Structure 1
Amino acid sequence: MNTKQTLMAALAAVACATSVQAECLSDAQVADLVAHYAAKTPAANPENLSDADGACTRAKVNQLLAQRMGKVVGYKAGLTNPAVQKRFSTDKPVWGKLYEGMVLASGATVDAAFGARPLYEADMLVRVKSAAVNQARTPQEVLDAIDQIIPFIELPDLLVQAPPKLNGAGVTAINVGARLGVAGAPMPVPAYRAERFALLQSLADMQVVLTDGTGARLGGGKGSDILDHPLNAVVWLAQALAREGLAMQPGDLISLGSFSPLLPPKPGLSVTATYDGLPGAAPVRVTFK
C-alpha cells in the first residue's frame, strides 16, 4: 500500500469511527422514541449527537409525529434563555414543531403526569401575520409581521430516562420536548407606530411571574432574559428554519422560550403566569390533577 492509499485508509477509519460515535438515530430508534412519547413513558437518552445529528433525528421524529398528530400549527424556539442553555450545556437555541391539539385554553386542568418527564414554564406565543416574518432581523420587524401576542404557560416533556444528561442536540432530537401548553387571551398588536414602540419596550422590561394558588412565587424572569428581547427568538427561528428550507406561515403560533426555570408539576397545584409591566396582558392559568 503506497503513502496515498495509507492516508486514505486512515481518513476512512477516522470517518468510520466518528460516524459510529455519533450519528442520526436509526429509523428503529426513532420509532422507539416516538412510541415512548405516545405511551408517556421515559425513552432511552440519545447520546453523543452532534448538532447535525440532532437536526436529522428531529426530522425523523417529526415525520412520525405528523402521522399521529396531524397538522403543524407552529414552532417553538427553545433554550433561548441563557440560564436554561446552561442547564443543557449549550450556548445556542434550538427549535421544534407544534402540532394541532397541543395548545389548550387558559384555565385548563391537565394531568400532572401529562408526559414521561413533565415540566411547566412561563412562556409567550406570537401569531404570524405575514410571511415577511421570515426576513425579520430586528424585534421591530418581527412586530410588523405578527398580529397577536399571547400569554402562555408551556408544558414541555423532556421524555428521556435521564433529562440531566441531555445537551442541546439531544433536546433538538426530542422535538424540544413539545407536548402541551396553556394559552391566555391574545393581545392584538397595535396599529400605530408610537404604540408599537411602547409595546416593544414593555416586552423587554416586563417581569413574568409564576405563582401558585396561594399567591406564592414559583419562579419567573424579565422579558429581556430571552435573547435580550423576546422577539429576538423569532429572528433566530427565521434564520434557523431557512437553513433547513423551512419558513413560518401566516397563522403559525411561535413559542418564544422560557422566562422561568423548568419546574415539575404536582397534583393539586394551580399555576398562574402574570406579565407585570405589559399593559393589556391578562394572567394565564393551569391546574394539575
Structure 2
Amino acid sequence: MRRLATVCGALLTAQLIIAQPFVADRAMAACVQDAAIDAFVGDFHSRTPTQALGVDASPADARCVQDALVGELTETLGPVIGYKAGLTSAGAQQHFGVDEPVMGTLLEKMMLDDGATVPAAFGARPLFEADLLLVVGDAGINDATTPEEVLAHISAVHPFIELPDLMLAEGQPMTGATITAMNVGARMGVVGEAIPADPSLIEALQAMTVRVTAADGEVLAEAPGASVLGNPLNSALWLMEKGVTFEPGQVISVGSIGPLLPPAKAKGMATVTYQGLPGDPAVTVHFEQ
C-alpha cells in the first residue's frame, strides 16, 4: 500500500510524496534472514558498528536486502521521499571495487534544516560530504534521456550536506553488495534553501565549484559539479536506468561532490558553498561533541 508524506523543513516546496512499496512480510524476502535485519536495525539505532548484510549477494539480492531493511526503518524514520546515488565518482568506484554507482533510499525523518546541530558521533562510523538534492517537478522526468530533459522536470535544487554512516565493524567487507544492502549508508542530511530550476542551471551545475570549509575557514575539499557522472543531473538518469520511477515531489541525492570526511575535520562546523550557482548558496551543519 502506498503512503503519502510531506517533506519536512526546508523541503516544504516538495509538496506531497508518494512512497514506494516495500516488502510487507519479511518472510517473503528470501535474500535475508529476519534476525540479520533485526540485528542491523538495532545497531543502527544504537549507533553501534555492525555485521555486513548481503555479503557475496548479487546486485538484485543486495537491493532486495536493502528493501527489507528500509521497510523496517520506515517504522521510525517515516516513508520514502526519494533516492540517492552513491559512489558516483571514478575514484570512489575504484576504491570499493565497483564499475558503476550504487543506489539507496531516503526517508522523511532523515532530512534536517540548514544549520542543524547533530552529535559528532551521530552514527557508528559517521562521515559527511558535499552533495546536492534535486526535487522532482513532475512525472515527465521518467521519460528523460538527457541532462537537459531531466532539468526540464526538476522544480528546485537544494544545497545538501549528506551525513552518511558506513556502519560496518572493523574487518567487515565493504563492497558494492554490502554498501547497497546497508542502504548506501543513508542516515541524515542537512538541506539548504531551494534554488528554482531553470534551463540556465544546466551548465552551472556542471561547472560549479563545490567547496567544503571547517569552522576556522580551512578548506577541507573542493570539487567541480562535473565530478558527479559528468553532470549531477546524470544521477537521475542512472537511477531511472536501474528501475526507479519518480513521483512529483520526490528528492534525488546526486552523490558525493568530493571526498567523504570525518566530523572531526570540521572543528565543530562544516559549510558547503556552491560557487557558480545563483547567489553562490551555502549550507551548514554543526557538530556537537
Q: TM-score range, shorter-chain basis?
A: 0.7 to 0.9
Alignment-derived partner of residue 264 in structure 1: 262
| SS of residue in 1 equivalent to 2:51 | coil
Of the candidates 185, 201, 204, which is equivalent to residue 202 of structure 1? Answer: 204
Aligned counterpart, 2:142:
134
Report the TM-score, using the length of structure 1 for normalisation: 0.85
Distance 2:170 2:81 in 1: 29
**C-alpha deviation, 1:86, in angstroms:** 1.9
2:16 matched residue in structure 1: none
1:172 offset after TM fit, Å?
Answer: 0.6
Alignment of 1:172-187 (within 5 A): 172-187=180-195
Contact 2:130 2:161 in 1 (8 A): yes
Aligned to 1:86, the other structure's residue is in SS state: helix
Higher percent of residues as helix: 1
Contact in 2 for aligned 1:136/1:238 (Cα 8 Å): no
Please name the residue that 1:251 is paired with: 249
CA distance in 1, matches of 2:171, 2:197: 37
Q: TM-score, normalised by structure 2?
A: 0.85
Cα offsets for 1:140-164 (capped at 9, x unmatched): 1110111101001100011111388
Q: Alpha-carbon deviations, 1:92-147, whole Å to 9, x = none?
A: 11111111111111111110111111100000001001111122111111101111
SS of alignment partner, residue 257 of structure 1: coil
Paired AA for residue 181 in structure 1: G
Q: 1:135-154 alignment to 2 at 5 Å?
A: 135-154=143-162
Distance in 2 (CA, whole Å) between partners of 1:79 and 1:98 is 16
8 A contact 1:268–1:287 mirrored in 2: no
SS of 2:109's equivalent in the other structure is coil
Counterpart AA for 1:30: I
Taking the aligned partners of 2:230 and 2:216, their CA distance within structure 1 comes to 31
- The one-letter amino acid paired with 2:34 is D
Q: Where does structure 1 lack aligned partners over 5 or more consecutive residues?
A: 1-22, 191-195
Instruction: Single out whichever of 170-179 and 71-80 deviates more from structure 2.
Output: 71-80
Matched, 1:33 2:32: no
Asked whether 1:119 is paired with 2:127, we answer yes
Structure 1's 268 and 211: CA in aligned 2 closer, same or farther, altered over 3 A? closer
- Map 1:1-289 onto structure 2 (within 5 A): 24-46=31-53, 47-162=55-170, 165-190=173-198, 196=199, 198-242=200-244, 247-266=245-264, 268-289=267-288
Please give the secondary structure, in 1, of the residue aligned with 2:83. Answer: strand
Return the alpha-carbon distance in structure 2 between the equivalents of residues 162 and 80 of structure 1. Answer: 24
Distance of 1:278 and 1:227 partners within structure 2: 18
Cα drift, residue 87 of structure 1:
2.2
Q: Is 1:270–1:286's contact at 8 Å kept on the other side of the alignment?
A: yes
1:62 is paired with a residue of what secondary structure?
helix
Distance change (3 Å), C-alpha of 1:189 and 1:116: same
- For 1:154, the aligned partner's letter is E
Whole-angstrom CA distance in 1 between matches of 2:279 and 2:267: 29
CA RMSD of aligned residues (A): 1.6
* CA 164–90 in structure 1, closer or farther in 2 if over 3 Å, else same: farther
* Alpha-carbon separation, structure 2, partners of 1:164 and 1:120: 21
Deviation string 1:74-103 (CA, Å, 9 cap, x unpaired) is 111111121222222111111111111111
Q: Distance in 2 between matches of 1:89 and 1:225?
A: 18
Which 4+ stretches in 1 moved above 4 angstroms? Answer: none
Specify the code of the residue in structure 2 equivalent to 1:135.
D
Answer whether contact 1:95 1:176 (CA < 8 A) is retained: yes
